[in-house]
Structure 1
Amino acid sequence: MSITLPQDLSGWLADSAQGLDLGEIGAEEILPRLASAGLARIGVPEAEGGSGGDVVDAVGAVAAVARESLSAAFILWGHRSYIEFLLHSDNAALRGRQLPDLLEGRTAGASALSNVMKSLAGLEPLKVRAKSENGALVVDGKLPWVTDLRRDGFHVAAAADGAESGAPMILAISHDDPGLERSADLDLMAMRSSDTAALTFTGLRLPEDRIITRDARNWLPRVRPSFMALQCGMSIGLAARAIDEAEARADSGRGVLGPDIRALQADLSDARSALAAGLRSQAFVRRPAALFDLRIRLAGIVSDAVELELQAGGGRCYLRGPGADFARRWREAAFIPVITPSIVQLRTELAAARQAA
């Protein structure tokens, strides 16, 4: 799962992390740099234009980026998730048309499946509907929060309630489809250079060859492990960096923190191993609760890691200049629990499952 970034990319991310967090550097710079370093190809079969490996390697790529910038890792997560959806689709023609530009970073990929995940868990209704009309689909609805909506061009995977069948399907909607409106970027507390906005569909006509799957109920459990594992990559990278920072500062008269740091390092290493094993054995398809527990566990590790970094850095972390990178990681860590499916949603599903057992 360990990936080493090219030096020019890691240097740029390190120098740009503050600007990306505060929105001072345009998001349009991120994806081309990530793609040119080959990160979008990791875990994609060579026959599909990728560099081989599996989704565990793709998680490692997200984690490596998250060590430097969660804004950039958030974009890579959305982009790589969309690629994963195409890889799991029976629509080979759609994959053949879209994948080359996605792998090169010429077009962005975005995941907007939070609504359908909540819907299938009984937490909220689907917000997008599609009805058949003269050999096409007419799509209406709104998605309030989507990342990697690059203004130069994007594809977004959106779930829609089929008006005729009543069953959810997954659609590939593109930036230039008539009837699509992208909002201004959301006013986020952090990670402002992540092309995160809302989408509204009004009478959007979509050819049926843009259907990723007609059967989201059976398709989603197969792709959810990859989708959530790539999210976990953000937690892994951020936690690892905060732990390293804590360890570097604990030598300066704060050695009492050593046992806590080593325990957290071991916990993170164990969680990473469990994530890789579950992905490669397909255990998370059969037992999604194990993946939910890991996502919750990793969120806790992130919280503990930034807390240890604060304790190790002391008052220095609270100064605007010397503490700028810590303050960014603190804000980034605040996002980890709310990524859909959020920690509250996962705990709700786990509690319901235990009650039903």
Structure 2
Amino acid sequence: MGAPACPALLEWLDDHAAGLDDGHADPAVLLPRLGDAGMFGIGVPAEFGGQGGDVTDAVEAIAAVSARSLAAGFVFWSQRSFIEYLLQSPNAALRGRLMPALLRGGVAGATGLSNAMKALAGLEPLQIVAAPENEGYRLGGRMPWVTNLRAEGFHVAAAIAHSDGSGALVASLPHDAPGLRRSEDLSLLGLRGTSTAAIDLRAVPLAPADIIHPDAATWLPQVRPAFLGLQCGMSIGLARRSVQEAADQGGAAREVLRQPVLLLRQRLAAEEASLREGLRAQAFQTRAAPLFELRIRLAGLVAEAVGLELQASGGRAYLQPHGEGFARRWREAAFIPVITPSLVQLKAALAARPGAVAA
């Protein structure tokens, strides 16, 4: 698959990557930039306002953006994941109401389902509870880490347990819902332009019109492959960029590292093919373990790639201004293992399978 991002967007991302990482760039600008470039419509059926294709095209788009800026790729992943939730929702009215603004980047879509994905794997309980009230619900709870909570307006997807223990639902909560409070941006080591914050819910009303799916246990396994597959695009893009940076270095390092660079590119391409084939065949809906393992392997390739970039650059990687891009990618690579679900959580889920053998 070729990179679908337009040259003007890629140039803008190169110019603003440092600011999006350290927080000096205005985070309000990023989402409309991606929307104006048509990025959010990639892999979205034309009948819903998109450009057609499938979710693998969106994975490639996220990879192309992440190669320039993981902060931008992180925001892109959140927005596109939220769009995917609406595409896979039976609530056509909600989709029709929210989709146009999401596709153009006029409003943010925050994928607050990290807790839900961990709950699905048996790693933690749901953190939001719904008590019935009239024809709807009142919600209470907290989401401690959510990305793309754009100050100018957002909708956040949340998995919500019924107070009577009868199951859970998935809903879209608007930023201006009574009782919904967004914290200040979290003080991250990098990716500070991603509008990442916490959300507290205190007696927040929820109407049936805002329910993405009434049965989380049925719906979450259906959407999890897209959630994780799109997330893998971040790793693919960052690994590609570091491998290319290593290959572009001159001098003795170029010859010594030629073979390791070639082998890493081949392994990365093989993992990309496995992801693409699994998503298109819908193989991960009934068998999540291969997708978990693929995500773990991609994170390992990212670590190897930035290591090769460091070796190829040598001491220049530790000098300003030459090393600024490398330093940002090194921090970005450190984030890949802790994106929810983290590698530790994925490994714990794999180890908990019946008949699993500890490595």
Query: 1:305 is matched by which residue type in structure 2?
Result: A
Q: TM-score, normalised by structure 1?
A: 0.98
- The alignment status of 1:312 with 2:312, answered yes or no, reads yes
2: distance between equivalents of 1:2 and 1:216?
35
Contact 2:112 2:143 in 1 (8 A): yes
Q: State the partner residue of 1:39.
A: 39
Offset of residue 122 of structure 1: 2.2
Contact 1:65 1:237 in 2 (8 A): yes
Q: State the partner residue of 2:15.
A: 15
Offset of residue 131 of structure 1: 1.2
Q: State the partner residue of 1:290.
A: 290
Contact 1:3 1:57 in 2 (8 A): no
Unaligned runs of 5+ in 1: none
1: distance between equivalents of 2:332 and 2:150?
21
Aligned residues: 356
Q: State the partner residue of 2:111.
A: 111
Contact 2:82 2:111 in 1 (8 A): yes
Query: 1:144 is matched by which residue type in structure 2?
Result: P
After TM superposition, list the pairs within 5 Å mapping 1:162-181 onto structure 2.
162-181=162-181
Residue by residue over 1:66-116, the C-alpha shift from the partner in whole angstroms, topping out at 9 and shown as x without a partner, is 010000000000000000000000011100101111011111101011111
Q: State the partner residue of 2:223.
A: 223
- Secondary structure (helix, strand or coil) at the match of 1:62 reads helix
Q: State the partner residue of 1:252.
A: 251
Q: State the partner residue of 2:135.
A: 135
Q: State the partner residue of 1:53.
A: 53
Query: 2:182 is matched by which residue type in structure 1?
Result: R
Query: 2:244 is matched by which residue type in structure 1?
Result: D
Query: 2:307 is matched by which residue type in structure 1?
Result: E
Contact 2:135 2:207 in 1 (8 A): yes
1: distance between equivalents of 2:275 and 2:108?
27
Report the identity percentage. Answer: 53
- Secondary structure (helix, strand or coil) at the match of 2:109 reads strand
Unaligned runs of 5+ in 2: none
Offset of residue 121 of structure 1: 2.1
Residue by residue over 1:138-179, the C-alpha shift from the partner in whole angstroms, topping out at 9 and shown as x without a partner, is 011000000000111101100111113531211100001111
1: distance between equivalents of 2:99 and 2:4?
24
Residue by residue over 1:248-305, the C-alpha shift from the partner in whole angstroms, topping out at 9 and shown as x without a partner, is 11x3211111111100000000000110000001111121111111100100000000
Contact 1:86 1:212 in 2 (8 A): yes
2: distance between equivalents of 1:5 and 1:57?
11
1: distance between equivalents of 2:41 and 2:273?
22
2: distance between equivalents of 1:218 and 1:122?
15
1: distance between equivalents of 2:4 and 2:140?
43
2: distance between equivalents of 1:154 and 1:277?
33
Which deviates more from structure 2 when the two are superposed, residues 312-321 or residues 301-310?
A: 312-321
Q: State the partner residue of 1:75.
A: 75
After TM superposition, list the pairs within 5 Å mapping 1:267-346 onto structure 2.
267-346=267-346
Contact 2:350 2:356 in 1 (8 A): no
Contact 2:299 2:337 in 1 (8 A): yes
- The alignment status of 1:144 with 2:144, answered yes or no, reads yes
Q: State the partner residue of 2:212.
A: 212
Offset of residue 211 of structure 1: 0.7
Query: 1:253 is matched by which residue type in structure 2?
Result: A
Contact 2:90 2:212 in 1 (8 A): yes
Offset of residue 354 of structure 1: 5.1
2: distance between equivalents of 1:104 and 1:132?
35
Contact 2:120 2:220 in 1 (8 A): no
Query: 1:169 is matched by which residue type in structure 2?
Result: L
Query: 2:174 is matched by which residue type in structure 1?
Result: S
Q: TM-score, normalised by structure 2?
A: 0.97
Contact 2:146 2:199 in 1 (8 A): yes
Offset of residue 7 of structure 1: 1.6
Query: 2:142 is matched by which residue type in structure 1?
Result: K
Residue by residue over 1:117-147, the C-alpha shift from the partner in whole angstroms, topping out at 9 and shown as x without a partner, is 2222222121100111012210110000000
1: distance between equivalents of 2:356 and 2:5?
45
Offset of residue 320 of structure 1: 3.0
